[in-house]
Amino acid sequence: MGQEPAALEENVEVIKSWEREVLLARSRSEQLADWIASTAVSGPVLLLHVLGFTFWISANIGLIPGIAPFDPYPFPLLTIMVSLEAIFLALFVLASQSRLARQSDKRSHLNLQVDLLAEREMTAVLRMLQDIARHLNVSMTVTPDQLRDLAKHTDLRGLTHKMEEMAEPEPSPECPENEGETAQNSVALSDGDSNRAAGDPQRTG
pLDDT in tens, 111-154: 888 888 888 888 888 888 888 888 888 777 777 777 777 777 77
Answer with the residue of higher pLDDT: 104 or 188: 104
Mean pLDDT of 9-16: 82
* pLDDT at 26 > cutoff 70: yes
Q: What is the pLDDT, as a whole number, of residue 6?
A: 78
Q: What is the pLDDT, as a whole number, of residue 23?
A: 85
Q: What is the pLDDT, as a whole number, of residue 74?
A: 87
Mean pLDDT of 72-99: 92
Nearest in space to 15 (alpha carbons), one of 98, 122, 117, 106 = 106
* pLDDT at 165 > cutoff 50: yes
Q: Report the distance separating Cα 50 and Cα 57, nearest Å.
A: 11
31 in Cβ contact with 53 (< 8 Å): no
Nearest in space to 30 (alpha carbons), one of 82, 83, 85, 101 = 101
59 in Cβ contact with 70 (< 8 Å): yes
39 in Cβ contact with 33 (< 8 Å): no
The DSSP annotation for 91-150 comes to HHHHHHHHHHHHHHHHHHHHHHHHHHHHHHHHHHHHHHHHHHHHHHT---SS-HHHHHHH
In this prediction, residue 78 has a pLDDT band, given cuts at 50, 70 and 90, of very high
In this prediction, residue 180 has a pLDDT band, given cuts at 50, 70 and 90, of low
* pLDDT at 190 > cutoff 70: no
Q: Report the distance separating Cα 49 and Cα 60, nearest Å.
A: 16
Q: What is the pLDDT, as a whole number, of residue 203?
A: 44
* pLDDT at 107 > cutoff 50: yes
In this prediction, residue 81 has a pLDDT band, given cuts at 50, 70 and 90, of very high
pLDDT averaged over the chain? Answer: 78
Answer with the residue of higher pLDDT: 204 or 91: 91
In three state form, how does the secondary structure of 47-93 look? HHHHHHHHHHHHHHCCCCCCCCCCCCCCCHHHHHHHHHHHHHHHHHH
